[in-house]
């Protein structure tokens, strides 16, 4: 086990916003984003003046009078006006998260409700509950060779879940934390090891960690000194790990050795204009797609860390992203947490047409 402490400038740039409901008119059976000039030029919706929220404050972006889809630094705002986000799975999930492509469908969690849900990967539909826990459920990965079984970041640790929601706890490393801490986002690397982060309920700075669960079921603390740990996401060979410290607004990139220990850690990207990096995935071209909480957008970064595209969304708090292996769409979970009277489609799963794909979720490979 290698344990590396990270520290960084803490920001309070994220938070809840309120939207003008008139921006999101009903259309057919779902909700469609109206691509006004402000939405496309700023890369996110205009939600009014800055407000207090569960993760700090977020300011209203200025709106240029003559928008251009390509900014001066080459960043593209996408998609086109005739390819706007739609609701893929309706819902009022307080904290949707952990979007993963498993066996041809999307699975995701409603963290604080402890629910694991699924929805068709081929057409929009109503989510179906797979199981429910009596503790928060951050994210899951399938267990190889055991259909219907999952490894999960849940409660204060890592557990193997049966189809009925029964839990076999591998470890509860945050059980005796100085401040109440829960597990958050998680995913398997290409080698079949499960990685998951934690965070304090009150977002105590530095209370979060990143853990790795090896094939033998042992759980190791790999990174410390983080606050809200999100991601992680891996390169195709598993050598590069991307992990967000959401409160700091920073995405870190770690080079890993064969055993999954960090050899070095660098700052890959930093959110400087409001919002906070949340769930993420790496596509088949090595680009990183990141949900930006509090900014109503998804960012796409090139392998060198250059921000190359911004996708505006009709919900202020996107939480995780998933690209199906067949390509063609980006699926985004969203949250209603801290948004009293939140406008639709906050809490739903959105779909955006994109020209990108990513591998299906890797399963946990127990020894």
Q: Which two tokens stand for residue 177?
A: 């934390």
Task: Tell me if residue 91 falls in helix, strand or coil.
Answer: coil
d(CA 136, CA 275): 24
d(CA 28, CA 271): 35
> Residue 187's beta-bridge partner residues?
195
Instruction: Give the pLDDT confidence score for residue 340 in this predicted structure.
Output: 79
For residues 291-307, give the mean pLDDT. Answer: 97
For residues 131-135, give the mean pLDDT. Answer: 97
Instruction: Give the pLDDT confidence score for residue 28 in this predicted structure.
Output: 24
Q: Find, among 327, 309, 315, 233, the residue nearest to 47 by Cα.
A: 315
Instruction: Give the pLDDT confidence score for residue 74 in this predicted structure.
Output: 63
Tell me which of 72 and 107 has the higher pLDDT. Answer: 107
- Which residues, other chains included, contact 63 with Cβ-Cβ below 8 Å and sequence gap of 6+? 37, 38, 41, 42, 46
**What is the DSSP track for 318-354?**
EEEEE--TT-EEEEEEEB-TT-TTPPTTTTSEEEEEE
| pLDDT 10s digits, 156-213 | 999 999 999 999 999 999 999 999 999 999 999 999 999 999 999 999 999 999 999 9
- pLDDT of 135 over the 70 cut: yes
d(CA 293, CA 262): 27
d(CA 113, CA 14): 22
Instruction: Give the pLDDT confidence score for residue 220 in this predicted structure.
Output: 98
Task: Tell me if residue 21 falls in helix, strand or coil.
Answer: helix
Instruction: Give the pLDDT confidence score for residue 343 in this predicted structure.
Output: 67
- pLDDT of 118 over the 60 cut: yes
| pLDDT 10s digits, 221-247 | 999 999 999 999 999 999 999 999 999
For residues 95-104, give the mean pLDDT. Answer: 97
Instruction: Give the pLDDT confidence score for residue 177 in this predicted structure.
Output: 95
Confidence of residue 274 (pLDDT cuts 50, 70, 90): confident
- Which residues, other chains included, contact 82 with Cβ-Cβ below 8 Å and sequence gap of 6+? none
Confidence of residue 73 (pLDDT cuts 50, 70, 90): low
Instruction: Give the pLDDT confidence score for residue 16 in this predicted structure.
Output: 28
Instruction: Give the pLDDT confidence score for residue 245 in this predicted structure.
Output: 97
Instruction: Report residue 287: phi and psi, to 5°.
Output: -90, 145
Mean predicted lDDT score pLDDT of the chain:
83
- Side-chain-side CA neighbours of 352 within 13 Å: the count stands at 31
- pLDDT of 33 over the 80 cut: no
Q: Under a CB-based contact definition with an 8 Å cutoff, are residues 133 and 114 in contact?
A: yes
Task: Tell me if residue 167 falls in helix, strand or coil.
Answer: strand
Instruction: Report residue 305: phi and psi, to 5°.
Output: 95, 0
- pLDDT of 12 over the 80 cut: no
pTM of the full structure: 0.82
Which spans in the chain are helix H?
37-42
d(CA 151, CA 118): 16
Task: Tell me if residue 272 falls in helix, strand or coil.
Answer: coil
Instruction: Give the pLDDT confidence score for residue 80 in this predicted structure.
Output: 56
Q: What is the DSSP letter of 75?
A: P
Percent of all residues in the chain with a pLDDT value above 90, rounded to a whole number: 74
Instruction: Give the pLDDT confidence score for residue 358 in this predicted structure.
Output: 98
Least confident among 76-80, 153-157, 355-359: 76-80
Task: Tell me if residue 41 falls in helix, strand or coil.
Answer: helix
Residues designated catalytic: 278
């Amino acid at each position: 086990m290698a344990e590396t402490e990270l520290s960084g400038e803490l920001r309070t740039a994220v938070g809840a916003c309120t939207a003008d409901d008139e921006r999101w008119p009903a259309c057919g059976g779902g909700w469609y984003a109206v691509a006004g000039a402000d939405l496309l030029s700023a890369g996110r919706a205009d939600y009014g003046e800055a407000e207090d929220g569960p993760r700090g404050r977020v300011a209203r972006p200025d709106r240029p009078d003559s928008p251009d889809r390509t900014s001066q630094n080459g960043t593209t705002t996408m998609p086109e006006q005739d390819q706007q986000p739609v609701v893929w799975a309706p819902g009022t999930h307080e904290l949707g998260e952990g979007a993963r492509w498993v066996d041809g469908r999307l699975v995701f969690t409603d963290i604080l409700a402890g629910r694991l849900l699924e929805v068709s990967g081929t057409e929009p539909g109503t989510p179906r509950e797979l199981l429910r826990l009596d503790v928060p459920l951050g994210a899951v990965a399938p267990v190889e060779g055991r259909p219907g079984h999952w490894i999960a970041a849940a409660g204060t640790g890592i557990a193997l879940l049966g189809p009925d929601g029964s839990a076999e706890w591998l470890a509860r490393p945050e059980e005796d934390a100085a401040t109440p801490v829960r597990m958050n986002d998680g995913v398997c690397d290409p080698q079949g090891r499960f990685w998951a982060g934690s965070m304090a309920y009150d977002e105590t700075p530095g209370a979060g960690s990143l853990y790795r669960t090896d094939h033998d079921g042992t759980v190791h603390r790999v990174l410390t000194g983080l606050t809200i740990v999100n991601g992680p996401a891996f390169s195709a060979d598993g050598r590069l790990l991307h992990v967000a410290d959401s409160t700091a607004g920073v995405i870190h990139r770690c080079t890993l050795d064969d055993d999954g220990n960090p050899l070095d850690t660098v700052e890959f990207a930093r959110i400087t204009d409001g919002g906070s990096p949340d769930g993420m995935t790496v596509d088949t071209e090595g680009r990183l797609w990141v949900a930006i909480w509090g900014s109503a957008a998804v960012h796409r970064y090139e392998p060198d860390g250059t921000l190359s595209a911004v996708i505006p969304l009709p919900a202020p708090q996107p939480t995780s992203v998933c690209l199906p292996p067949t390509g063609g769409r980006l699926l985004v979970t969203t949250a209603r947490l801290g948004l009293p009277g939140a406008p639709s489609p906050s809490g739903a799963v959105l779909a955006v047409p994109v020209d990108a794909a990513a591998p299906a979720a890797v399963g946990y490979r127990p020894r």
